[in-house]
């Protein structure tokens, strides 16, 4: 069974602080995607990483894919209240059918002004 | 920007009734998925669909569930006889190939 473990599950911080969310697995993935989900809405794609060691930046968000493609991290610099939400990592495998995504359980982030 | 659209946004149904959840994937996408998310829990894979057939399904996707792509645009999930535990958000997703999956806004199914 492929599992993605996200940590922490809940994070409450003050505006301006930095934070890192981790996504770990014992399985190798061909790609790893990070989504953000608002209550009652669908996951919205933030980024996809595909190469081991890859780092991608999206404004104050930095995403990294582990060298062995088993883990990933999301770092947010100077968090703002608008960053509040549920962050999901999802791993995909390359196969002929397109491959399902395996989701982590999510990290609920609350940024207080 | 192209997007995955789902209807209805909220469906309330009596236990034992059949429901059909509808999705219009992004037009040039080839792979289609249904996921569900029970309140407060993780997003769970239900089924993937490619080339007009199911390519993979999870243990959740039992005989009560079926999917169909009746025409060139719609992708539907049918639950034959709903149970209370089927209450969840159901998300449709689509992708071109081994690329990002894009999700719809979801249908909230409430079984009473």
Give φ, ψ of A81 to 5 degrees.
-55, -30
pLDDT at A98: 59
Q: Is the pLDDT of residue A1 over 70?
A: no
Residues 35-74 of B with CB under 8 A from A: 35, 41-45, 48, 50, 55-56
For residue A97, what pLDDT band results from cuts at 50, 70 and 90? low
Name all domains of chain B by residue range, CATH numbers in brackets.
5-111 (2.60.40.10)
Asked if A65 and A50 count as a contact pair (C-beta separation under 8 A), the reply is yes
Q: Residue A99: what pLDDT?
A: 75
For the stretch B4-14, pLDDT in tens is 999 999 999 99
Percent of chain B with pLDDT over 70: 99
* Domain membership flag for residue A1: no
Please give the average per-residue pLDDT across A52-81, as a whole number.
96
Q: Find all residues with CB under 8 Å of A51, minimum gap 6, and list them.
A: A65
Does any CB of chain A come closer than 8 Å to the CB of residue B102?
yes
Distance from CA of A51 to the nearest CA of B (A): 13
B-chain residue closest to A33, CA distance:
B100
Residue A108, domain member (yes or no):
yes
The residue-averaged pLDDT of A65-85 equals 96
Which structural domain range is residue A94 located in? Answer: 6-112
Taking CB atoms and an 8 Å limit, are B98 and A92 in contact across chains?
yes
Residue pair B65/B83 in contact (Cβ under 8 Å)? The answer is no
Determine contact, residues A88/A74, Cβ cutoff 8 Å. no
> Is pLDDT above 80 for A96?
no
Tally of domains in chain A: 1
Average pLDDT score over chain B = 93
Report d(CA B88, CA B102) in Å as an integer: 19
pLDDT band at A92 (very low <50, low <70, confident <90, very high): confident
The answer to whether the Cβ–Cβ distance between B42 and A41 falls below 8 Å is: no
A2 pLDDT exceeds 90? no
The residue in chain A having the minimum alpha-carbon distance to the alpha carbon of residue B89 is A40
pLDDT tops 60 at residue B69: yes
Distance in Å, alpha carbon of A73 to nearest chain B alpha carbon:
18
Chain A residue numbers with beta carbons less than 8 Å from the beta carbon of B41 are 105
- What is the mean pLDDT of the segment spanning B29-56? 92
Q: Where are the beta strands (DSSP E) in B1-112?
A: 5-7, 10-13, 19-24, 31-37, 43-50, 53-57, 65-68, 75-79, 88-95, 102-103, 107-111
Burial class (CB in 10 A: 0-12, 13-18, 19+), A69: buried
Does residue A58 belong to any structural domain of this protein?
yes
> Measured in whole angstroms, how far is the alpha carbon of residue A97 from the centre of its chain?
24
Q: Residue A50: which CATH number? A: 2.60.40.10
Residue A22 clears pLDDT 90, i.e. is over it: yes
């Amino acid at each position: 069974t492929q599992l993605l473990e996200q940590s922490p599950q809940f994070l409450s911080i003050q505006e301006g602080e930095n934070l890192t969310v981790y996504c770990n697995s014992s399985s190798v993935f061909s790609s790893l995607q990070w989504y953000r989900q608002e209550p009652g809405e669908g996951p919205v794609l933030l980024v996809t990483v595909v190469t081991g060691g890859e780092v991608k930046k999206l404004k104050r968000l930095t995403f990294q894919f582990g060298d062995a493609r088993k883990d990933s991290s999301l770092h947010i610099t100077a968090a703002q209240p608008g960053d509040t939400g549920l962050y999901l990592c999802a791993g995909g495998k390359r196969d002929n059918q397109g491959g399902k995504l395996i989701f982590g359980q999510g990290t609920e982030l609350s940024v207080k002004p | 920007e192209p997007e995955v659209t789902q209807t209805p946004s909220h469906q309330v149904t009596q236990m034992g009734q059949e429901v059909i959840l509808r999705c219009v994937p992004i037009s040039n996408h080839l792979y289609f998925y249904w996921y569900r998310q029970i309140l407060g829990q993780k997003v769970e894979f239900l089924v993937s669909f490619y080339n007009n057939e199911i390519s993979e399904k999870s243990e959740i996707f039992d005989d009560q569930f079926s999917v169909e792509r009746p025409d060139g645009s719609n992708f539907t999930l049918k639950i034959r006889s709903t149970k209370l535990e089927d209450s969840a958000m159901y998300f449709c997703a689509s992708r071109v190939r081994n690329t990002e999956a894009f999700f719809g806004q979801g249908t909230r199914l409430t079984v009473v």
